[in-house]
């Protein structure tokens, strides 16, 4: 028996580290060709070296909608289809509003909101076309956050706002695309060990102060693979996944 995504093509944004890297690996493990998008080319090339022919490297800033559109067009031109889009690239800077740099707020909006919009916009027609093919289904999965459901403290201000925004967009998209057999899913992780959390000291702080066992990126990749490998009749709309001990 073949793997469950044999013959399909997936795009993963933010594939150069953390959850995106783990997701790219997991989708490739299911047989998908995975187009790896991020800014750090050398990190993407290292992953592509591991995945071999089943992957391609696209150095792109997701905040640059034209560059994203070119990358998606390139993927479809090379491979003829696009079945799965994983909107994962993200940036978080958790500091109180007072004293925050406006540029940090703008970066979060550019990457977490405009990045998702630009990538989805570029992929939409290709996904709808893939869903009319033999497989009969296509998927958009967006990586939101627990912070896309609730505001767990003042410092998550703009990060939470961006994740709430993509949650709303994703729900509207789900309502529109179901009859076209393009499933739209939202994954909402709690704390995961990655550059995002370690760079802020959040991972270390959570473990030290709350005796919290962090999740690993592969835990979120598992949730994404679950979503995109359901039978055509079943759409998993939302997965909220926290470390067992995480209270908020
Ligand atoms: N870690 C957590 O606890 C946690 C919890 C909830 C949700 N999330 C979400 O999970 C997603 C992945 O985060 P992570 O934890 O895996 O963090 P990470 O290791 O820092 O990964 C972030 C990824 O996004 C990419 N990225 C950032 N800015 C980009 C840009 N302008 N253009 C293209 N790619 C860009 C980075 O690649 P380059 O730097 O190479 O461009 C990197 O591959 C994010 O959406 C984050 O908000 C994380």
Q: Ligand 1: which of 21, 66, 89 to mutate, judged by most atoms within 8 Å of the beta carbon?
A: 89
Catalytic residue among 86, 159, 215, 223: 159
Q: Assess whether the C-beta atom of 47 lies below 6 angstroms from ligand 1.
A: no
Task: Locate the ligand 1 atom nearest the alpha carbon of residue 196 and give its number.
Answer: 20
CATH number (3.40.50.720, 3.30.565.10, 3.30.70.20, 3.40.50.1100) of 9-241 reads 3.40.50.720
| 196 in Cβ contact with 90 (< 8 Å) | yes
Residue ID of nearest Cα to ligand 1 atom 31 = 61
pLDDT tens digits for 66-80? 999 999 999 999 999
pLDDT beneath 50, residues of the chain: 1
Q: Quick check: is 159 catalytic?
A: yes
How much is the pLDDT for 198?
Answer: 86
Name which residue sits closest to atom 43 of ligand 1, judged by CA.
Answer: 14
pLDDT in tens, 85-113: 999 999 999 999 999 999 999 999 999 99
Tell me if 143 CB under 6 Å of ligand 1. Answer: yes
If you measure from the C-alpha of residue 210 to the centroid of ligand 1, how many angstroms do you get, rounded to a whole number?
Answer: 23
pLDDT the model gives residue 232: 96
Per-domain residue ranges for the chain? 9-241
pLDDT of residue 213: 84
pLDDT (0 to 100) of residue 199: 80
Name the residue with the closest Cα to ligand 1, atom 1. Answer: 192
Q: Does 212 sit in the ligand 1 pocket, CB within 6 Å?
A: no
Residue nearest to atom 14 of ligand 1 (CA): 18
CA–CA distance, 169 with 117 (Å, rounded to integer)? 9
Q: In this structure, are residues 142 and 82 in contact, taking their beta carbons and an 8 Å threshold?
A: no
Given this model, what pLDDT does residue 243 score? 95
- Sign for the CA dihedral angle at 129, 134, 137, 143 comes to negative
Residue 24: phi, psi to the nearest 5? -60, -45
Contacts with 215 (C-beta within 8 Å, 6 or more apart), sequence order = 189, 190, 191, 192, 193, 241, 242, 243
The two counts, helices (H) then strands (E), for the chain are: 9, 7
Q: Is the CB of 17 under 6 A from ligand 1?
A: yes
In this predicted structure, what is the pLDDT of residue 5?
A: 98
């Amino acid at each position: 028996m073949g793997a469950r995504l044999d013959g399909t093509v997936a795009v993963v944004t933010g594939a150069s580290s953390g959850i995106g890297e783990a997701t790219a690996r997991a989708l490739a493990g299911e047989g998908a060709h995975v187009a790896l998008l991020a800014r750090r080319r050398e990190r993407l090339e290292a992953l592509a070296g591991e995945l071999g022919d089943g992957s391609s490297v696209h150095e792109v800033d997701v905040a640059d909608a034209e560059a994203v559109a070119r990358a998606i067009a390139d993927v479809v031109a090379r491979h003829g289809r696009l079945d799965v889009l994983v909107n994962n690239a993200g940036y978080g800077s958790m500091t109180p509003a007072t004293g925050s740099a406006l540029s940090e707020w703008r970066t979060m909006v550019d990457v977490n909101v405009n990045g998702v919009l630009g990538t989805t916009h570029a992929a939409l027609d290709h996904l709808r076309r893939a869903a009319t093919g033999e497989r009969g289904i296509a998927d958009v999965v967006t990586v939101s956050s627990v912070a896309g459901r609730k505001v767990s403290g003042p410092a998550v201000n703009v990060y939470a706002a961006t994740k709430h925004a993509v949650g709303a967009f994703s729900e509207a998209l789900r309502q529109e695309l179901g009859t076209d057999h393009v499933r739209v899913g939202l994954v909402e992780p709690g704390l995961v060990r990655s550059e995002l959390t370690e760079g802020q000291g959040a991972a270390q702080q959570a473990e030290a102060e709350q005796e919290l066992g962090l999740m690993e990126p592969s835990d979120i990749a598992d949730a994404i693979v679950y979503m995109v490998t359901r039978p055509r009749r079943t759409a998993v709309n939302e997965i909220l996944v926290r470390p067992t001990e995480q209270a908020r």
